[in-house]
Amino acid sequence: MNNPYFDLLMWARGPGFDIALTILIGGILLRVVEIVVLGRKKDLAKPKGSPVSQGIKTIFTRSVPRKGMMKDAPVTYIGGYVFHIGFFIAFFFLGAHIALVDDLIGLNWPAANKALIETAAAASVIALLALAWTRVKDPVRRALTRFDDWLVLVLSGLPLVTGYVAVNQIFGDPTLMMAVHILSAELLMIAFPFTKLMHAVTFAMARYYNGSIQGRKGAES
């Protein structure tokens, strides 16, 4: 007699994870290396400013809203911050996730308590819903939104929701829900290199590039 929930969990922890990790790592490298190899045309003009320092500075300054933008699009900015910080806390400070990272790369750090993790996860999901709402409500955003955007939104939210359900055993069998949570994270891993989720890696490259162009021209980025 088998427990199908355990079979699913073992598939998620075994072949499922292997497939997802291979696609994630292979996909990220493919895209990053392709961008680097493609390169840019060399600018032969003498730089008027400092492209390197402005490039590095821009990596960080673009995380701060431009003047007036917070007032113009508060949900986008606040929702964006809350989602990213919440997701970061829920992923990096849950003991089970730290055990995963420890096994993957040998790094270990103290875990946070359940109250903080769950507050962060719940805030993240609420932020995602708010961001989805602005996409529907604002005609410009609605026109700009593609299937890819909805896919990324759903895939980002699923691990948070399923993780919350699995840890608190809100419904479903605990083994099944753990399997579903891992599978939802694996879906995110598979989609990562081929969707806008890739910004988590390329944001630094893109910001540096934009900042360095301004720096080369002698402008403050």
Partner 1 sequence: MADKPLLPDLMKAHGISRRGFLKYCATLTSAMALPPMLAPKVAHALETTARPSVIWLSFQECTGCTEAITRSHAPTIEDLIFNVISLDYHHTLQAASGDAAEHAREQAMKDNWGNYLVVVDGSIPIGNPGYSTIAGISNLDMLKETAEGAAAIVAVGTCAAYGGIPHADPNPTGAVSVSDIITDKPIINVPGCPPIPIVMTSVLAQFLTFGLESIEVDKLGRPKAFFGETIHDRCYRRPFYDKGLFAEGFDDEGAREGWCLYKLGCKGPTTRSVCATVKWNNGTSFPIQAGHGCLGCTEPDFWDNGGFYKPLSVPAGEYRKLGLAAVAGGAALGVAGGAVGRANKARAARAHETVDAHDLEKKT
What does the binding site for partner 1 look like in residue numbers (CB under 8 A)?
1-3, 6, 9-10, 13-15, 17-18, 21-39, 93-100, 102-103, 108, 110-115, 117, 169, 174-175, 178, 182
* Residue 22 CB, nearest approach to partner 1 (Å): 4
The residue (of 39 and 139) whose beta carbon lies closer to partner 1 is: 39
Question: Can you give the three-state secondary structure of 71-86, one letter per residue?
Answer: HHCHHHHHHHHHHHHH
d(CA 33, CA 26): 10
The residue (of 19 and 129) whose beta carbon lies closer to partner 1 is: 19
* Residue 97 CB, nearest approach to partner 1 (Å): 7
Query: What is the sign, positive or negative, of the torsion defined by CA atoms of 193, 127, 121, 3?
Result: negative
The CA angle 156-158-162, to the nearest 5 degrees, is 140
The residue (of 119 and 145) whose beta carbon lies closer to partner 1 is: 119
* Residue 15 CB, nearest approach to partner 1 (Å): 6
* Residue 99 CB, nearest approach to partner 1 (Å): 4
d(CA 105, CA 48): 43
What is the identity of the amino acid at 180?
V
- For residue 116 the two structure tokens come to 């903080």
- Exposed, middle or buried by CB within 10 Å (0-12, 13-18, 19+), for 125? buried
- For residue 16 the two structure tokens come to 């499922």
Q: Are 211 and 54 in contact (CB under 8 A)?
A: yes
The residue (of 14 and 218) whose beta carbon lies closer to partner 1 is: 14
* Residue 169 CB, nearest approach to partner 1 (Å): 7
Sorted by sequence, the CB contacts under 8 Å of residue 113 that are 6+ apart come out as: none
* Residue 153 CB, nearest approach to partner 1 (Å): 25
The residue (of 64 and 96) whose beta carbon lies closer to partner 1 is: 96
The residue (of 109 and 133) whose beta carbon lies closer to partner 1 is: 109
